[in-house]
Every structure is written in structure tokens, then in C-alpha cells.
Structure 1
């Protein structure tokens, strides 16, 4: 959210910007302090409602849950525009697997999602399965090397036998069944692992908008809908969203989205007609909406979208007071170097760990 704020302020056009933070402290997802875990119970967004008024302004009703003495009183304010920056990292997505419910009931501490993962200490010496090979899965599997019982077992949907095996990792296809007795895990190729200590699902997250119950068409379970460029709510573009695309480069993408939001709201850029925006949404749905995009497709789309937003920002009407030749604050643009690094990020992290160096924790940063 802070990246978005920078671009809104840089436009020098907004009288007041209010931020509603759902956590006890600012920082978003990187804020993983134990204090937060102990104190934070209910997100402010569960008590936040918004309504589209006839005047095209937004009425927001909030309740402060940060204090034990907080009353049930609410506060209502009216805004010209709203940015929903809750992202998609709060609700874990879990696959449907035969036996998962029974396994979780009998061995409740053995199953978790990457959302609640903090460090590898609890997995020391245990046979561990990592489900998923996205950014979180790859990084967590790297953390487990030399800590868990070797090799680390990694379940990958589109696995080719032997393609990614190494001395420290055993690559297997999707899990098809969990058997609590004997802690057995059966894979799609018939392979069975016994005495499994832990299973960590790195299977992504679901979008959740409890504060917008009157707009039920935002998410269909696979992707967000009715959002032009995955940012502007079609038909009411004074409602904008950030960090919606999965497998994105979150910080750089959020900057690009912040620039894209600020310029039309300051009337330095014009959005397409509603018909053209709906056409964009339908084209996206036809290409990706009926299935999950592959990691390569998602990465290519997100980098392309980020660079397109950079180019779009350059088309804004110049205003000399904004500096930078009248262009104002510009978002990042990725080139060959950034893509080269991203494609090899897993190898870079593995090489760093192999040198015996530990990456700094969130608390150390």
C-alpha cells in the first residue's frame, strides 16, 4: 500500500489520503513479528463496508479493532476513490485430496500452508513433502535442504520423471491420496511414501473481498473478473485494486499499478470506454480464466503487464510542477537483466545457501 501512496502523493492532486491498516503495525505481508501473531485476531476489513452512492462517491464504514477496549461503534466517511490493497495473500488455497481431512484430524500439526510457515526448525530430521514449485515452494524446499530428512520430497503437478531430481530433492507428481494410518502418501504415478512427518502446501492463495459484498462478481475461484488491467473495477473505475495477479513481481508490479491508478484519477490519462474495458476482461478470461496459467505464462503476462503500464504512464499529460520533465514519478520497467535474474532466482538462492550463508530474516532486515 505504501508504494501506491507514494504515487498518489506524487501527483499533488489529492487533498487527503487515508489508509486503513488491517494489522497492528504497518508493513503488510513482510511484517511477521511474533507480536503481530499474538495480538492480531480479526482484520479490520471484516468490519469494513463500502457502498456506491448516486454521487459516485464511496461511503466507507469502519470499526477499530486494534484495542481490547474497542467498542462496537463504527465510523463512516465519504471518499472520491478507493484503493483495495488487501492483495491475495491472506486466504490459503488447498487442493482437494482424498484423505486430507482425516489426516489433518489425526495428525493436526503435520499439515500446514506456506502462509503460516516461518522457519525450518520444526522440520529438522523429519521426512517432509513440499507440495508446489512456485516461488514459495522452491524457496521453502531450499530451506529444507540439510535440515529435513534427505532428500526433500517435492510434489509437482506437471512433473517429468527424473527431470528435476538431485541428491537433495526427490521430485514426484501430484498427491492423489493421504492415508493417516502409517502416515502414507500416494502419488499419481503409484509411488507411496510412508512415515511422512510433515506436508507443507505451497499451493497459492485465494482472493477475498469481505468488505465488498454488494459486488459478488469480482472473483470466480480462479481469477478476478471485471477488472480492467486487473486494476480498475469496470463501470466504477474510482474503485481500484492492486496485487491481484498471481505469480507476479509484487513490489515492482504494485509500483506500476500505483502509477496507473494515480494518473487517470488526476485526469492526466483517460481510461478506455467501458465496452473496450469489458472486451479486455473477456479476452483475458478466454485465454486464462478457465484454468490456472502455467508459471511461465503467468510470469510472462505479469512482466508484460508491468512494462505496458510503464509505457501507458509515459503517455500522461505532462505537468511541469510534477518534475521529471513534467512526467512525474515513473514506475519501474523490466528489461533483459531483470528477467535473467528472475529466471535464475532459485539457482541463485541455492548457491547462496550452499556457501553456508543464511539469508537475513524479516526481523534482521
Structure 2
């Protein structure tokens, strides 16, 4: 498959220095490879960096989606890396974004990663050559752009930067303010205003709870089968999907109509890889990144891997596991399947998803209950350590709490007793 033997390939390019990029860098270095992480921002941490920055014009891109007052919707006990946990001094399980950022910085310091991270260096183009990768890096401080050559590429640029906006009739007709949750920062922007929030995922529910404390009224539009608990939000009214917008509001699919001052779309994000050339061999169609083997390895150019695409998962743990999985192949300890075998495996996995009624390319990387089989697959196939059973049990205990117990689910702390057991204690 490769003209140069796998064990002789040495240099690793990591795109991004957020949660995924840091563990890709750390594990690559520990595997004996030369590795560099390029981060276009001024600090490590990716989306966990809070900034009140807003776009300067329609072409400007804002990286962070972090908003004031955010607390995690997963406990810190499942958010650590397998070999680096949150400090026991933090008593709360559901922590602030600043505490997550502090943890990522301490991870980088503990494993001495900073000398291998180039801040304010943006990867602007990646293209395959005969035996390696040509990576053009823009040094923002010196305003230079030069090619660097690598044997492997880890794409860790995150997927909370490019908003996924719905296409609803009348959006251009509506005369109020419209924004995506990507640009939400503070609730006081909506003081004494009426707001329509579209989407009841983790962000939609949490932002509704923030905004309703400043707004005069909040309408929460969604198509969940089970009704979220909003009884503690006295000024929130649940509505079905929007059928069409009017000049002052919207008509909903149940025939009802409301007027409001603002619309906020909590409708998720698009996978976007603007630095990858077309000959990388990757397409994104309706948020289905393809063709990938095991949701990470580029089948057309297997020395490139994407870390962190699956969602409804245990984020940090799966990032680390995907990196350890791919490194077994990149260091020659395991042999990659042929292109035909990887394509057949992808087709089989997607066929199973479609057979289960999930014929929706936007959900091609959604895991949910499937994540546990996925972890087992990666562990057995590459001979790597699996995620500890206690982490999986704890994750299951937290499932959907942000929808049905938003007012109370953070009022507990978790203590991991051993690899199998945890204790849940009320605050």
C-alpha cells in the first residue's frame, strides 16, 4: 500500500490544539513519532476559550461557541483523559468552561506539549504527495506561509465553528433579529424581549434556561417525541417545528402563531475542513464525512485521520481512543486493511444504520447506544485498552438528563470508586 514501510514514517502534523488535538499530539509523541500541533488561535483549548468576539463582517469567522455561565452537561469524571483526570480538589462534577480550559492547559503542561505547539499558525492547505503530505502553514505573527512535509496528518479542527442553519420558509421575510447559538454570549442581550429558540438539544435547552431569566418570554420550538421538562421555567412555552416565518413571528406546524423579537437557531454545526485540498479524497455531504474507516481513517489516503467526528459519545475519551487506535497502524504494530476491505466495512456499517431507520446522512456519525459497540471494536481490533466500564456506566446514568431534569441533574456529584463502580451523591 505504501512505498515507504509504515515503521519508517516519522513526522506527524496535528491540525488544532483543542481537546482532540492535544491528545493526538501527546499520544504521537509517546509513540516515538515527531509531532507538531498547529493552532491558529493565541492559546490552546479550542472551543473552550470564552471570547466576546463577534464577526467583523459577513466573511469573518468566529471560532469559539462558548457563552457566559456555561456549565458542562457531562460530569468531569467522564471528561478527563484515560491517563489524566480532573483534580480531586474540584468537588463539583458539572464544572464551568474555565475549569475545563484550566484542565486542558494543565494536561499540556503535564505532558510537556507546549514546545511542540505552534500558536497563531494556521494550516491553510493540505494535499497528498507520492509518499507524504504537503502542509502549507500561515504564520500569523510573521505573515509568512511556507510548506512543511509530514508522513501523517491528524485533522482535529473541531466541529463547533460552522453553524448549520435550517432552511425555513419566510426566513428572509422575518423582520426581527436572527442569530445562531454559535454567536450567543450573554442573556442580557434579550432583556425584556421575546425570543424564539429553535432546537432542544443540549445547547437549546441550556440556552433557553439562560435566556428566559432575562427575556420577557421564550418559545422553545422542537420536534422531540418526549416533552422536555420546562415546568421550572415559568416564561417558556414549548412549540412544534416552525412551518413558516411571518414579518413579526412564525406559524407553527400545529397551526398556532406567535410574535417575537428574536430568533436563535440552536440547530447544530456543519463539519468543515477548508484547508483540505480536493485530492485528499474526502467529501462532506449533509454532514456525512466520507469515505472514512471506523469514522476516523481516510480510506483514500489512510495516513490521514479525523479525530472527534462521532457525536452523542463520551467526547474526550473517544478522542483519545481514536488516536491510540490509529497509532497502532501508523507505528506498524497493526496492518491496515486494504482499501476494498475498508470500503466494504463502511458500507456494512452504514447499511446497518439505514436498516435501523436512520437513513439520514446528518446522523451518519451519531452514536448514542452504538458507541459502546464502537469502543469495543476499536479496542479489540487494535489491541488497545478500552474505556473503563465505570465511565460507560456513569455516561448511561447521565443520558438525556439535560432534557428531562435540567433544573436538578447538576445537583449531584459523582465519585469513581474503582474501574467498575461509582457513587452518586446529592449536593
Secondary structure of 2:135's aligned partner: strand
Shift of 1:311: 4.2
CA contact (8 A) 1:222 1:290 kept: no
**Where does residue 254 of structure 1 map in the other structure?**
319
Count of matched residue pairs: 325
Following TM superposition, where does structure 1 have runs of at least 4 consecutive aligned residues deviating by more than 6 angstroms? 35-38, 42-46, 293-297, 352-355
State how far apart, in whole Å, the 1-side matches of 2:272 and 2:137 are.
17
Matched with 1:4 is 24
Aligned to 2:139: 64
- What is the CA–CA distance in structure 1 between the aligned matches of 2:54 and 2:251, rounded to whole Å? 37
Is 1:130 aligned to 2:150, yes or no? no
Point out the structure with the larger strand share: 2
User: Would you say the 8 A contact 1:130–1:202 is kept in 2?
Assistant: yes
- The answer (yes or no) to whether the contact 1:46–1:210 under 8 Å persists in 2 is no
Shift, 1:243, TM fit: 1.4
Which residue is 1:239 aligned to?
A: 304
Q: Normalising by structure 2, what TM-score? A: 0.67
Residue 127 of structure 2 corresponds to residue 51 of structure 1: yes
Q: CA RMSD in A?
A: 3.2
The separation in 1 between residues aligned to 2:54 and 2:228, in whole angstroms, is 41
Closer, same or farther: CA 175–35 of 1 in aligned 2, 3 Å: closer
Alpha carbons 2:286, 2:361 under 8 Å: kept:
no
CA distance in structure 2 between the aligned counterparts of 1:293 and 1:41, rounded to whole angstroms: 25
Within 5 Å, give how 1:178-327 maps onto structure 2. Answer: 178-180=245-247, 183-194=248-259, 196-214=260-278, 215=280, 217-286=282-351, 287-288=353-354, 290-291=359-360, 298-313=367-382, 315=383
**8 Å CA contact retained: 1:255, 1:332:** no
Deviation at 1:336, TM superposition (A): 2.1
2:237 is aligned with 1:170? yes
Measured in 2, the distance between the counterparts of 1:28 and 1:163 equals: 30
Whether the 8 Å CA contact 2:201–2:266 is kept in 1: the answer is: yes
Post-superposition shift, 1:34? 3.8
Q: Give me the TM-score of the superposition, normalised by structure 1.
A: 0.78
- Distance in 1 separating the partners of 2:345 and 2:328: 20
Instruction: Encode CA deviations 1:155-199: one digit per residue, 9 max, x unaligned.
Output: 112456x6756362422211121112xx121111111011x0221
In structure 2, the CA distance between the partners of 1:149 and 1:311, relative to structure 1 (3 Å rule), is farther
CA contact (8 A) 2:192 2:215 kept: yes
Select the residue among 373, 379, 400 that pairs with 1:343: 400
Q: Which runs of 5+ in 1 are unaligned?
A: 317-326, 356-365
1:354–1:249 CA distance, 2 compared to 1 (3 A): closer
Tell me if structure 1 keeps the 8 A contact 2:201–2:403: no
Specify the SS of the correspondent of 1:224. strand
1:154 Cα deviation from its structure 2 partner: 1.3
Structure 1 position 30, deviation (Å): 0.5
Cα deviation digits, residues 106-163 of structure 1 (max 9, x gap): 43xx21111111232212332222111112112212223433224x321112456x67
Contact 1:247/1:295, CA 8 A, preserved across alignment: no
Shift of 1:81: 0.3
Mind listing any 5+ residue stretches in structure 2 that lack a counterpart?
1-20, 64-119, 413-427
Paired with 1:350 and 1:174, the residues of 2 have a C-alpha distance of 24
